[in-house]
Amino acid sequence: MILHSLGKIPDGYTYDGKYTALSAEEITESNCNVDEVWYWYACESYEGSGDMIVRMKNSFYFFEISHCSCNGPLDKLNEIDKKKSFSLDDIQKMKQDHSQEYTDEAWLAVSPLIDMVLNSVYAKKMEKDYSIRPNRFETLEI
C-alpha cells in the first residue's frame, strides 16, 4: 500500500482541530485491501474531520472521514463495497466540474486530494498528461 498525506488541513477549510497523521497500520486494520490512499485528517478532543480517497486496482473511492467521539476516522473504510467507484477519467472530469458530487465548501476539503491523485505515479502510468501540481504533501510507501 502507498500512503499519501496532504500534511495539513486544506487551505480555506475551517476546522479548529490540528492535523493528525494516520498510520498504514490503522488503515490495514480496517480489513480493506487498498493499493493507494490519499488523505488529510485533523482532530480536536474526541472528534475529527477529514477526507480520504482510496484506490483499489483501477477504481477510486471517496470517504469523508469526519467523526464524533463514538467512532473513529476509518470506521467506514471496510464498507468500500457499498461506495460509488470512480475511474481516473471521472476524477479528471470532477476536477473540471465538481457540482455533481460536492458543494463548494466540501470541495475545499477534497480538491487538494484530487490534485494529488491526478499527479500521482499511478496517473502517470496510465499515460495521462495532467498539468496539475499538488500542494505540499508527504508520501510513505509501505
- 19-60 confidence digits (pLDDT tens): 999 988 888 887 678 899 999 999 988 889 999 999 999 999
**pTM summary value:** 0.81
State how far the Cα of 85 lies from the Cα of 77, in Å rounded to an integer: 13
Please tell me the predicted confidence (pLDDT) of residue 139. 52
Give the strand pairing for 2-5 and 36-44. Answer: parallel
Tell me the CA end-to-end span of the chain in Å, nearest whole number: 6
Q: How many domains does the chain have?
A: 1
User: Are residues 119 and 139 in contact, defined by beta-carbon separation less than 8 angstroms?
Assistant: no
The domain in which residue 66 lies consists of 2-141
